[in-house]
């Protein structure tokens, strides 16, 4: 049974993220802008670690997936063809009394949760941000901020498959920003209007579609376990007929047990040949594939894995947050996987004398080309450890009086608080092993 989470955990996380330089509200000194977030020094490192690890797992560690980085602004017809202009909508209701707007599927009944007023009938609201390209703001210049990165992959299918000399099955991966004018954003970075996606579209023979869907389901679940997320807080949710997009054959979400309930963090969908067929019809370009082995020609089916960077970040923060009592004092600790942690090790001289700061600085210089480390000599060492615990730093390296005699240091583990002595010369390999396994 998954652990029931404390209801005020989200408030604690928002305040920790602000205090420790992970995430701030956008344009805060102007009073903030709703549903947009800025990542600070620790946040940007952590987010980058999540993206880098995903990218490595998708591209560097395999030979069947290529990367792209497509433009955010695309030909407006792409969004007609994909169906977004017509049907990328959510049902919206208005309160007749206080005029607030809600996503109809977030509301039960016909009464406004804010003021008790009556709600209107639901209307469809398109979630795409519209803008204009060039100096003339007319209908002909309309274009959109992409609401997903996937279309940038589909329209580049031919461009990639040729030069990369890939054969089906193969995939194309992309990480990038997406924009949705969400009706009710919220729950911190869970649902915002500007966010990042990590998407991989895998092109397969239609006969093998369900096998590859199963493969990617398992593979993606394993990835969340590899970044340290607890098994009991993850599950699959299969879309029933009502939820299934009209073009999809089978679809699963990976869900996480957030303090506000089980919610989607990634979609793994069998999109059939819908996307390539539609783009082929709209452009007249042949997007079929000839399989040399079986001598068959077909439009590839697409198995999509679509994850949110920001949601993954939130999952890591929620899953890692712990409070415990140590020697009568509350300790807040972010148990982030070392691969994801923004700072890998802090380097602390026990006291600011006897050459300890100089040695600690030397160690910092030695480690910096390999890891993101942090030198800290201010305050009692216990206090310095606590600050790093809260920021999720997995290791603390302390220079003490024994260092002066035998060139060893203590390495403190964030989670167990155990300390082991290592030779300074061995630190790089010890840390590499502890971080990457």
Q: Interface residues with ligand ATP (CB under 6 A)? A: 148, 180, 182, 191-192, 195, 197, 264-267, 306-308, 310-311
Write down the least CB distance from residue 192 to ligand ATP, Å. Answer: 5
Q: Which is nearer to ligand ATP, 307 or 367 (CB)?
A: 307
| Shortest distance (Å) from residue 140 CB to ligand ATP | 29
Residue closer to ligand ATP, measured from CB, 148 or 319 = 148
Q: Residue 332: how many CA atoms within 13 Å on its side-chain side?
A: 14
- Cα separation, 145 vs 370, in Å, equals 37
Residue nearer to ligand ATP on the CB measure, 236 or 290: 236
Comparison of 229 and 397: residue with beta carbon closer to ligand ATP: 229
Q: Which is nearer to ligand ATP, 149 or 388 (CB)?
A: 149
Task: Write out the two tokens for 163.
Answer: 């030069």
Structure tokens at 98: 């206080």
Q: How far is CA 153 from CA 171, 201, 409, in A?
A: 10, 7, 49
| Nearer of residues 310 and 376 to ligand ATP, judged by Cβ | 310
Q: Which residue's Cβ has the minimum distance to ligand ATP?
A: 308
| Closer residue to ligand ATP in complex, CB, 264/390 | 264
Least Å from the CB of residue 182 to ligand ATP: 5
Report residue 89 CA to chain centroid gap. 23
Question: Are 237 and 221 a contacting pair, CB within 8 Å?
Answer: no
37-39 vs 23-25, strand pairing mode: antiparallel
Phi first, then psi, for residue 96 (nearest 5°) are: -70, -25
Q: What is the DSSP string of 137-206?
A: -SGGGEEEE-S-SHHHHHTTHHHHHHHHT--SSEEEEEEEEEE---SS-BTTTTB-SEEEEEEEEEEE-G
CB of 259 to ligand ATP, least distance (A): 16
Q: How far is the CB of 312 from ligand ATP (least distance, A)?
A: 7
In the complex, what is the shortest distance from the CB of residue 132 to ligand ATP, in angstroms, rounded to a whole number?
A: 23
Q: Smallest distance from the beta carbon of 195 to ligand ATP, in angstroms?
A: 4
Strand ranges for 64-167 from DSSP E: 65-67, 89-94, 101-103, 123-126, 129-132, 142-145
């Amino acid at each position: 049974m998954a652990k029931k989470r404390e209801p005020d955990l989200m408030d604690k996380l928002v305040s920790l993220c602000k205090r420790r330089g992970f995430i701030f509200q956008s344009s805060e000194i102007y009073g903030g802008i709703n549903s947009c977030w800025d990542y600070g020094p620790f946040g940007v490192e952590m987010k980058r670690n999540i993206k880098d690890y995903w990218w490595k797992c998708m591209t560097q560690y395999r030979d069947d997936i290529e990367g792209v980085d497509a433009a955010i602004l695309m030909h407006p017809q792409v969004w007609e063809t994909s169906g977004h202009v017509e049907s990328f909508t959510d049902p919206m209701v208005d309160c007749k009394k206080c005029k607030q707007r809600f996503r109809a599927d977030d509301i039960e009944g016909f009464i406004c949760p804010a003021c008790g007023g009556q709600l209107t009938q639901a209307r469809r609201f398109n979630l795409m941000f519209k803008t204009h390209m060039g100096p003339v703001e007319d209908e002909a210049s309309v274009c959109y901020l992409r609401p997903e990165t996937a279309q940038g992959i589909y329209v580049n299918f031919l461009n990639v498959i040729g030069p990369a000399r890939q054969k089906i099955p193969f995939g194309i991966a992309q990480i990038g920003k997406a924009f949705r004018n969400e009706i009710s954003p919220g729950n911190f970075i869970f649902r915002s209007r500007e966010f990042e996606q990590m998407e991989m579209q895998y092109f397969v023979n239609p006969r093998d579609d369900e096998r590859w869907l199963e493969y990617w389901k398992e593979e993606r679940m394993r990835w969340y376990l590899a970044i340290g997320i607890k098994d009991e807080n993850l599950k699959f949710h299969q879309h029933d007929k009502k939820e299934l997009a009209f073009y999809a054959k089978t679809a699963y979400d990976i869900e996480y047990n957030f303090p506000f309930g089980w919610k989607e963090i990634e979609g793994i969908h069998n999109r059939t040949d819908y996307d390539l067929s539609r783009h082929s019809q709209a452009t007249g370009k042949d997007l079929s594939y000839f399989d040399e082995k079986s001598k068959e020609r077909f439009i590839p089916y697409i198995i999509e894995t679509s994850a949110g960077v920001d949601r993954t970040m939130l999952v890591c923060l929620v899953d890692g947050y712990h409070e415990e009592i140590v020697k009568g004092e509350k300790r807040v600790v972010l148990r982030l996987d070392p691969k994801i942690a923004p700072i890998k090790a802090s380097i602390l001289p026990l006291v600011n004398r006897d050459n300890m700061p100089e040695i600690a600085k030397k160690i910092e210089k030695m480690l910096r080309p390999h890891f993101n480390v942090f030198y800290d000599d201010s305050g009692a060492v216990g206090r310095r450890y606590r600050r790093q615990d809260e920021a999720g730093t997995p290791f603390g390296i302390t220079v003490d009086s024994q260092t002066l005699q035998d060139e060893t240091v203590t390495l403190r583990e964030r989670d167990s608080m155990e300390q082991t002595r290592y030779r300074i010369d061995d630190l790089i390999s010890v840390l590499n092993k502890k971080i990457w396994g």
